[in-house]
Chain A
Amino acid sequence: MPSEQSARSLLSFEEMEAVYAALAEVVDQVGERSTPMFLTKLALLLSRELGDVDAVKAAISSAALDLQEQSHLGG
């Protein structure tokens, strides 16, 4: 079920590092309040690009796991 087992070409670790850095930077630019909206729009845009509704649904389920409140996030 995890999306990394699909046949599509996946990003390398170096590419994932670049994504990590870019996302962190834009999250800081848009600010904490706008971050949920930003990330939701991003998810919708990426879903359309991915072109595979089952993969998107699997990723949604996967991302919903292990969300226990992070005591140190935000204020």
Chain B
Amino acid sequence: MRPQGRDTLDSVYFDYPKFEVARAPELDGRTGSHDVVIVGAGPVGLTAALELARCGVHVCVLDDKTTVNDGSRALCLARHSMESLAQLGVAERFLERALGWTSGRSYYRGEQVYTLSMPYSDDERFLPMYNLQQQYIEHYLSEAAHQHPLVEVRWGNAVESVDWVDDTARINVNSEHGTYQLDARYCLAADGARSVVRKSFGLKLNGDAYEGKYVIADIRLKSDFPTERRAFFDPSANPGATLLVHKQPEDIWRIDWQLQPDESESEALEESNIRAKVSAILDMLEEGEDWELEWWSIYKAFTLCLDNYRHGPFLFLGDAAHLVPIFGVRGLNSGLADASNLAWKLAAVLQGNAEDRLLDTYSPERRGATMEIFENAAKSTAFMTPPTYGQELLRDAVLSLSLRHEFARPFLNPRQSTPYIYDASSLTSARGADAEFMCGPQAGAPLLDTRLDDGTHLLDHLSNGFQLLAFEQDERTWDELSKALLSEPVPVHLIHVGRARREAATNLSDGHGRLSERYGACPGSAYLVRPDRHVAARWRQMSPAAMVQALRIALGLTGGDNSDAQ
């Protein structure tokens, strides 16, 4: 909602772009099937498009709007998401505006009782978290999509319904130029919480809904308070309930306050009441009275997801597949991880390097991530908005104890988003070899960025496909490895770490030994890394035969070692 006198897209700080309604070539007689159609040009759909294009796949993206989103209001990008955006070549654009942060505070009745501090060092290019409004996120992604020769975005083209006909996705589209039908080998449903694709098949989201309701409001306010997460329990400006405050770029502040159980939703959403509440909150925060109201809405927490993220040629991503509570910034970040996970698999299948069954691993891998998110989110949500008398009593007892007792304070940890580890996946292998490492990213975990001697970072040196991060390999192994890889279906980008320079590889010197240290590596060690930066397998002593076997397992070409310890 916007203040009276302002249109839906009349923002105090953001100029909504106006995209042209695309005229579909199908309306002028084009026939033939598309490889991939993506429904929804939100952050997840556009990221999936750019990820696929990065792998060389042509994509067509459909969206009913002719501008960026005005509904959903994600604002926080975690480091892992920024690393993915960097691989897509768009992170620099994001960094021009985004506000990085590393810490947070929680208050109980005005007293600070908990400090959140997320670890970071200059080994990582990115800070743990960045705040950037969803409008900018979508705007920057759409710029990149418009520029990419393999991405066709059709704004103002609304998907009315979809159908599954003989292994093909059939998509019925309506635009001001006319209605038409599209066939695609695969269709990605990234069309959000109210997914039309999901509804076409009558697929249900299963899970829980929570009682607590939050009003979320964006205001413009000049304030020097640093960018961090502030959470208030039982604050004077919202007695008996909770309140969250986040800084966003352009002097915009996000304020989320919980409604009391007896408060009327419609009354709370009246503009005069919104203004009064914001004033009371700013008064409590000792901020000035000079502020503007930008936008507000209401929010309820859900943990809901589809039983399977794949339905024949249709694959569901982001909010179309799962709805998660806002506490812990997992909605957007897990949607972007869906896109990275799916894109390389889809590219491998379309390019004939893997069978269709590789796509069957998308749902278990990402649903596993959703389940972990639900577990954490259920705990944070139960703490923020206790659903029962017992939960509330315990929460309040812990808050009361947190004033004087250190042991009670970790309960206030908001359990921020962390990347999921695909350790149980059928694509992850060599678990016995994995267990021989003392440190470093385990099999299934994402790569750890590391600062190199020349000031660049490890992740700067990644290519678009599989990588082998190999430490001090002797010449014989290297020759054997290079030969073995020649007959494999996909190229593997070789990164050699060590003093010796190896042919056909990116050579990193690691003079200070920082990489070897962080990866628990010795001469002969190696990490096989998927295109989404997750470790498929690792060995303290890599043999070319084992590496080739792990590559085939990671492509779903041969069975993995899920059932045994080796």
Contacts and interface: CB of A to CB of B under 8 A. Distances in A.
B407 A10 contact: yes
Nearest to B405: A2
A42 interface: no
Given A71-B239, A72-B240, A24 B404 contact: no
A19 to B, nearest CB: 9
B117 interface: no
Given A65-B404, A67-B400, A71-B239, A32 B389 contact: yes
Contacts of B119: none
Nearest to B407: A4
B385 to A, nearest CB: 11
Contacts of A67: 400
Interface residues of A, number: 27
A33 B241 CA distance: 23
A72 B260 contact: yes
Contacts of B404: 2, 62, 65-66
A3 B394 CA distance: 19
Question: Which residue, B109, B390, B400, has most C-beta atoms of chain A within 10 A?
Answer: B390
Interface in A17-32: 17, 20, 23-29, 31-32
B456 interface: no
B94 interface: no
A74 B396 CA distance: 12
B239 A28 contact: no
Contacts of B396: 70, 73
Contacts of A23: 390, 394
A20 B398 contact: yes
Contacts of A74: 389
A28 to B, nearest CB: 4
Question: Which residue, A27, A65, A70, has most C-beta atoms of chain B within 10 A?
Answer: A70
A73 B241 contact: no
B388 interface: yes
Interface in B394-409: 394, 396, 398, 400-401, 403-407
B118 interface: no
B391 A24 contact: yes
Contacts of A24: 388, 390-391, 393-394
B410 interface: yes
Question: Which residue, B109, B396, B407, B411, has most C-beta atoms of chain A within 10 A?
Answer: B407
Contacts of B401: 66
A70 B389 CA distance: 13
B393 A27 contact: yes
Given A70-B396, A71-B240, A72-B241, A16 B407 contact: yes
Contacts of B389: 27-28, 31-32, 35, 74
A23 B109 CA distance: 24
Question: Which residue, A2, A23, A24, has most C-beta atoms of chain B within 10 A?
Answer: A24
B392 A72 contact: yes
Interface string B231-264: 0001000011100000000000000000011000
Contacts of A62: 404-405
B43 to A, nearest CB: 33
Contacts of A35: 389, 393
Interface string A1-13: 0101000001001
The 6 closest A-B pairs by CB, nearest first: A72-B240, A27-B390, A28-B390, A24-B390, A71-B240, A24-B394
Interface of A: 2, 4, 10, 13, 16-17, 20, 23-29, 31-32, 35, 62, 65-68, 70-74
Given A27-B389, A31-B389, A72-B392, 17 more contacts: A4-B407, A13-B407, A16-B407, A16-B411, A17-B411, A20-B398, A24-B390, A27-B390, A27-B393, A27-B394, A35-B389, A65-B400, A65-B403, A66-B404, A71-B234, A72-B240, A72-B261
Interface of B: 109, 234, 239-241, 260-261, 388-394, 396, 398, 400-401, 403-407, 410-411
24 contacts: A2-B404, A4-B406, A10-B407, A13-B407, A16-B407, A20-B398, A23-B390, A25-B390, A27-B393, A28-B388, A29-B390, A35-B393, A62-B404, A62-B405, A65-B403, A65-B404, A66-B401, A66-B403, A70-B240, A72-B241, A72-B261, A73-B392, A73-B396, A74-B389
